[in-house]
Amino acid sequence: MTLTLYGIPNCDTVKKARNYLDRRGISYHFHDYKKAGVTAADLERWSDIVGWEKLLNKAGTTFKKLPDADKVDTLFTQALARKATPAEQSAAARYLADLKAAHTENPAMVWADFAQSVLNLKEFLYLK
């Protein structure tokens, strides 16, 4: 059985993993998910194992460069399997403004808090 390493070639963590495997002579197939994509089944399986929060790299430059509305849609899609509605986008914009004002000393907490709120929304929706 061949190991499959999923990632993007220019990611530092992926580079380290590939070097580690290469140095030890461990064969692997590299799957560039930006070029080849990832199946919904794989994402769902991984999300069940580690949680969607770990699958969404909020620290990466790709996520950081996204407009807030796209970040909101990304989080909603990962947590709820759908994009935010216009009403949810509007509410999210107001909430994000409040979070940004509250976290001026630690801006990374803005998206951590927002992601937790989306997770709470997911739990609430399942309790309905």
The residues assigned a catalytic role are 11
Q: Please, is 21 exposed, middle or buried when counting C-beta atoms within 10 Å of its C-beta (0-12, 13-18, 19+)?
A: middle
Mark out the alpha helices in 4-105 (DSSP H runs). 12-23, 33-36, 40-50, 52-55, 61-65, 68-80, 86-102
Three-state DSSP at 106 gives coil
Angle between helices 68-80 and 108-127 (to 10 degrees): 40
For 77, the token pair is 């899609």
